[in-house]
Amino acid sequence: MHGTRLLRSGPWSVAIAFALAGAILPRANLAQTPGPNVPRDALGAATPEYQQEALTKLMADRKAREIPEQFDPAILAAYVPEDNAVTPPRIALGRNLYFDKRLSKDGTVACATCHDVTRGFTDQLATSKGIGGQNGKRNAPTTLNVALLQILFWDGRSPTLDHQATQPILNPVEMGMADGAAAMKAISEDAEYQKAFKDAYGRDMNYEDLGRAIAAFERTLVFVDSPLRRYLAGDEKAISADARAGFDLYNGKGRCAACHPLNPSNPLGTDNRFHNVGVSARHQDFEKLAREAIKRLAEDSSEKKLDELAVGSDLSELGRFMVTRNRSDMGAFRTPLILNIGITAPYMHDGSMKTLWDVMDHYNKGGEANPFLDGGIEPLALTEKEIDQLVAFVFTLTDVRFAEENQRAMESQRVTVQEERPFRDDALANRKTLPFEQRVFGTKSTDK
Ligand code: HEC
Ligand code: HEC
């Protein structure tokens, strides 16, 4: 059976080999269940103490080690900068910094406020809230598995994790420190930090090393042991029949794998490229925004200004264009990683989609029409049943340590969908095949 699938699915044989080689499979389900008793701070995040404890439990089943064992070490190593080998003192320092609210101007916000251990390492808000009750314009992606991203942020304006970690601390709507020196001043009297920085980097505390340490910690947040992975490794029962059908749709009729590949080189489900998939097109006058952006960036083209405009202004919607000022990048965002997607709702750069069913409806209609829409987006003619199968599949991409959270999220999304999903009456969903399918699959209907 396993062999049959291996032959049938061609390129997946590579993925299977990868899964077999890399996965250390059996592990207890230690998913944290943030029940009603989770102690929360003023901004709604679980308290740092609670998160730290939850994280310790999540990591407990992994033997103490520097690099998680589920990735091909060669791939992981390729993403670690030469000056920042992942060592235990660096991980420990970075972990403390990640939870430390002193790194924000008013002492209320830490990385963990918006990348909360109990919420899929996001805030589960449409757009994030930072200091002083300010709302940013973008949805917080998860910090799970960021070790393997080639480029950071929705618009790719940061080249490395080490650099990325120095940005939110200085962003006026997030953590609001005036500069790196101000951030260091907030913790420089702390004798434990003085020692920890020395132990980690062999020199006095400085802002670049702070970014490096946080990055070293994030590189340990590897959560890729999904039911799909187990299925590919030969466990037939790891995913349901619906999810298996959804997997075929993901790779075939749904065309998801074109941008969200799941293979040994790109195991996260992102091609690390930028596409306008028509999320916010309806609301935007891209030309007007682009003129405004060029004007604002001509006044000040610093990295800090770009970060401010991207997170805190309407120019956010321009996406990659803000970085390249290339017309073809208008409204384009980096393909997000798709692992653990079940527990990180709401979705898209602006958090505009509450459930994975909404996401499927969006792709099914071919996105919102706009002059910059990616060529890979066209109506899909998925039936309701196929949409359910695709959703079932996508929920199998969550690490088993979050199995309970994933299950709860699926149930709550289903309720939301029953209550709120617009009645779908588009003729497309009833068409048997589309022109591209006839080209690719012959004239045979792919409807099940
Ligand atoms: C106020 C909420 C908030 C805080 C605090 C915050 N982040 Fe974020 N984070 C976000 C948002 C929103 C984005 C997306 C911004 C963008 O892409 O323009 C993001 C993006 C990221 C990314 C990029 C992920 C990807 O897929 O590209 C990483 C990594 C990250 N944050 C880590 C951190 C770290 C480390 C800290 C602390 C130093 C931190 N964040 C503090 C909200 C926050
Ligand atoms: C042309 C490339 C492309 C194709 C094809 C594509 N996606 Fe996406 N996907 C993206 C991009 C880019 C985004 C982010 C868009 C934004 O926020 O504006 C995204 C966002 C998502 C998100 C939200 C992720 C998050 O963290 O918010 C999900 C889920 C998703 N896609 C699933 C799918 C599925 C399932 C399919 C197939 C039906 C698919 N995608 C097809 C590029 C693509």
Closest approach atom of ligand 1 to CA 104: 5
In 3D space, the residue among 224, 193, 204, 164 whose CA is nearest the CA of residue 95 turns out to be 193
| Residue 326 half-sphere exposure toward CB, CA atoms < 13 A | 10
Percent of the chain with pLDDT over 90: 74
Residue 369's pLDDT band (cuts 50, 70, 90): confident
Q: Give yes or no for residue 111 CB within 6 A of ligand 1.
A: yes
pTM (predicted TM-score): 0.89
Q: Would you say the C-alpha torsion 206, 212, 215, 217 has a positive or negative sign?
A: negative
Percent of the chain with pLDDT over 70: 83
Query: What spacing in Å lies between the alpha carbon of 66 and ligand 2's midpoint?
Result: 32
Q: Are 217 and 59 in contact (CB under 8 A)?
A: no
How confident is the model at residue 9, as a pLDDT?
Answer: 35
Query: What spacing in Å lies between the alpha carbon of 336 and ligand 2's midpoint?
Result: 7
Same topology between domain 31-218 and domain 227-284+331-441: yes
- The CATH topology of domain 31-218 is Cytochrome Bc1 Complex; Chain D, domain 2 (1.10.760)
Query: What spacing in Å lies between the alpha carbon of 157 and ligand 2's midpoint?
Result: 19
Q: Give yes or no for residue 146 CB within 6 A of ligand 2.
A: no
Q: Give yes or no for residue 390 CB within 6 A of ligand 2.
A: yes
- The CATH topology of domain 227-284+331-441 is Cytochrome Bc1 Complex; Chain D, domain 2 (1.10.760)
Cα–Cα distance between 232 and 234 in angstroms, integer?
5
Cα–Cα distance between 352 and 375 in angstroms, integer?
22
Q: Give yes or no for residue 144 CB within 6 A of ligand 2.
A: no
Q: Which of 31-35, 111-115, 249-253, 386-390 has the lowest mean pLDDT?
A: 31-35
Where do the structural domains in the chain lie, given as residue ranges? 31-218, 227-284+331-441
Q: Give yes or no for residue 260 CB within 6 A of ligand 2.
A: yes
Confidence check: pLDDT of 73 > 90: no
Q: Give yes or no for residue 293 CB within 6 A of ligand 2.
A: no
Ligand nearest to the CA of 250: 2
**Length, in residues, of the chain:** 448
CA quadruple 168, 172, 173, 175: dihedral, nearest 10 = 50
Q: Are 147 and 161 in contact (CB under 8 A)?
A: yes
Please, what is the average pLDDT of the chain?
Answer: 86
